[in-house]
């Protein structure tokens, strides 16, 4: 099944108002011609598009394939004394722990 990309708002039909929603804390300025800020709390049921003309939000997709609807926890270290490069490296390690599918689980990408 091929997913059709939305090119205009389903409510107000604006072709210029649709923005991809970014979640999390941006590490710099956001191009507001392309993106809308969605907040720092992320779930697998968040909308991925927003119309800045009328406020419509939708096109919910699984933003984190492989994670499913499970809760994963990691104990975080104090980063207040880490350098920027140490924080980047630590963040990548944490993401890998959180994003790795459980053994034996279907990550949605297997062929069969």
Residue 33 has pLDDT above 50, yes or no: yes
* The predicted structure's pLDDT at residue 93: 87
Domain segments of the chain: what residues?
1-63, 66-102
* The predicted structure's pLDDT at residue 53: 94
* Mean predicted confidence (pLDDT) in 20-30: 86
- What's the rounded Cα separation, in Å, for the pair 43 and 92? 19
List 23's β-bridge partners, or say none. Answer: 39
Q: In the chain, where do the E strands start and end?
A: 18-23, 35-39, 49-51, 57-58
Q: How confident is the model at residue 107 (pLDDT cuts 50, 70, 90)?
A: very low
Tokens of 50: 């927003």
* Mean predicted confidence (pLDDT) in 27-39: 88
Q: Are 54 and 8 in contact (CB under 8 A)?
A: no
Q: Are 9 and 54 in contact (CB under 8 A)?
A: yes
pLDDT tens-place string over residues 86-106: 999 998 888 887 776 655 544
pLDDT tens-place string over residues 37-91: 888 888 777 888 899 999 998 875 554 555 454 556 677 889 999 999 999 999 8
């Amino acid at each position: 099944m091929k997913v059709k990309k939305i090119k205009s708002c389903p409510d107000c039909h604006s072709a210029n108002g649709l923005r991809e929603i970014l979640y999390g804390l941006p590490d710099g300025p956001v191009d507001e011609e392309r993106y809308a800020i969605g907040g720092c709390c992320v779930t697998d049921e968040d909308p991925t598009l927003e119309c800045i003309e009328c406020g419509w939000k939708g096109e919910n997709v699984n933003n984190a394939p492989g994670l499913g609807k499970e809760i994963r926890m990691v104990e975080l270290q104090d980063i207040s004394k880490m350098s920027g490069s140490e924080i980047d490296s630590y963040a990548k390690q944490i993401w890998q722990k959180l994003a790795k599918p459980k053994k034996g689980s279907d990550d949605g990408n297997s062929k069969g």
